Amino acid sequence: MDATRPQHTTAAAAGPDEAAKKKAAAAQAAIHLPEVRLVVLGWRWPGKSLTGNTLLGREEFHLERAAEFCVKRQTEVLGREVIVVDTPGWFSAQDTPPSYKEELVRGASLSPPGPHAFLLVIPVGMFTEVDRARIEEHVSLFGENVWKHTIVVFTWAEVLRKISIERYIRREGKDLQWVLEKCKRRYFVINNCIYGEHPQVGRLMEKVERLVAEEGGHYGQEEAEKAKKAPEENQNPARDVRELGARPKQNSALSLSKAMEVDPLSTVI
């Protein structure tokens, strides 16, 4: 068992109220993880690698286009050893090649005994039904349990200017809300324009620690093993990786109306 795994008795048998109380108590209990293990996920080009750099406080990941392999980096941040696994982004409008899916799933096994959280990076902007379906397809490669360990991280939030992230989420409608409900409304707005020491990194670490307290530990290796079969089921062997090419989803944030204004950091929870 992982030394950082908090000790819990199962709450389920005690009824929903009791379970909710235990969950709230667990969330309040200050868990300081000496090691925080994270996997960054998302489609192509929303800012996964830059988010990894923001968290590690250094330029560890190259901002190369269409990375094909997982990359693991670690460093000490605010008294914790932080491990970040960057993964290849999935294709937005085309089938993701099976080799990318396999590599994506491998990302969960690179930080044994398992990541505490998956950071699902979504750029602020137009969010469509197709985006939702692609997220469901690719996140589910890790098994249904992965959602318990997933936090949505919004990038490009500076384009919102003065409207709050909550209003943006409401405005985007049911598809984005579906994703957030799957993650129990755990989300975080990161400002990737801020480099170096900033309270946002500590706040995200605390959010991960709360998740670990609520969910009773990290995502298990056995989940990754079970999910290994999934890419085969979703394969489209006829496609050639080169043929699919590097066509990332256009950053929808760029096309977002500039009339929306928000200070992203004021909405960080």
Ligand X SMILES: Nc1nc2c(ncn2[C@@H]2O[C@H](COP(=O)(O)OP(=O)(O)OP(=O)(O)O)[C@@H](O)[C@H]2O)c(=O)[nH]1
Please report whether residue 152 would count as binding Mg ion according to CB under 5 A.
Answer: no
CA distance 137 to 159: 28
Q: Between residues 2 and 102, which has the closer beta carbon with respect to Mg ion?
A: 102
E strand or H helix at 37? strand 35-41
Please report whether residue 80 would count as binding ligand X according to CB under 6 A.
Answer: no
Closest to 29 in 3D by CA, of 205, 208, 213, 207: 213
CB atoms within 10 A of CB 83: 20
User: Which residues within the stretch 183-212 sit at the binding site for ligand X (CB under 6 A)?
Assistant: 192-193
Residue number, nearest CB to Mg ion:
49
Q: Between residues 49 and 96, which has the closer beta carbon with respect to ligand X?
A: 49
E strand or H helix at 154? strand 150-155
Contacts of 58 by beta carbon, 8 Å cutoff, 6+ apart: 75
Please report whether residue 169 would count as binding ligand X according to CB under 6 A.
Answer: no
Please report whether residue 101 would count as binding ligand X according to CB under 6 A.
Answer: no
- Residue selected from 67, 139, 179, 183 as contacting Mg ion according to rule CB under 5 A: 67
State whether residue 229 is helix, strand or coil: coil
Q: Between residues 46 and 97, which has the closer beta carbon with respect to ligand X?
A: 46
Contacts of 13 by beta carbon, 8 Å cutoff, 6+ apart: none
The option from ligand X, Mg ion, none interacting with 155 (CB < 5 to 8 A, set by class) reads ligand X
What single DSSP character describes residue 86? E
Please report whether residue 49 would count as binding Mg ion according to CB under 5 A.
Answer: yes
Please report whether residue 96 would count as binding ligand X according to CB under 6 A.
Answer: no
- Residue selected from 26, 41, 82, 89 as contacting ligand X according to rule CB under 6 A: 89
Select the span of 24-32, 46-54, 127-135, 200-208 touching ligand X (CB under 6 A).
46-54
- C-beta of residue 105 within 8 angstroms of C-beta of residue 230: yes
User: Which residues within the stretch 202-261 sit at the binding site for ligand X (CB under 6 A)?
Assistant: none
- C-beta of residue 147 within 8 angstroms of C-beta of residue 251: no
- Residue selected from 37, 46, 148, 179 as contacting ligand X according to rule CB under 6 A: 46
- C-beta of residue 69 within 8 angstroms of C-beta of residue 147: no
Select the span of 25-33, 43-51, 174-182, 210-218 touching ligand X (CB under 6 A).
43-51
User: Which residues within the stretch 110-149 sit at the binding site for ligand X (CB under 6 A)?
Assistant: none
Closest to 145 in 3D by CA, of 37, 42, 228, 218: 218
Task: Tell me the one-letter amino acid at 104.
Answer: L
- Residue selected from 100, 118, 156, 219 as contacting ligand X according to rule CB under 6 A: 156
State whether residue 266 is helix, strand or coil: helix
* In the complex, minimum distance from the CB of residue 67 to ligand X, in angstroms, rounded to a whole number: 4
By CB under 6 A, name the binding residues for ligand X. 42, 44-50, 63, 65-67, 89, 155-156, 192-193
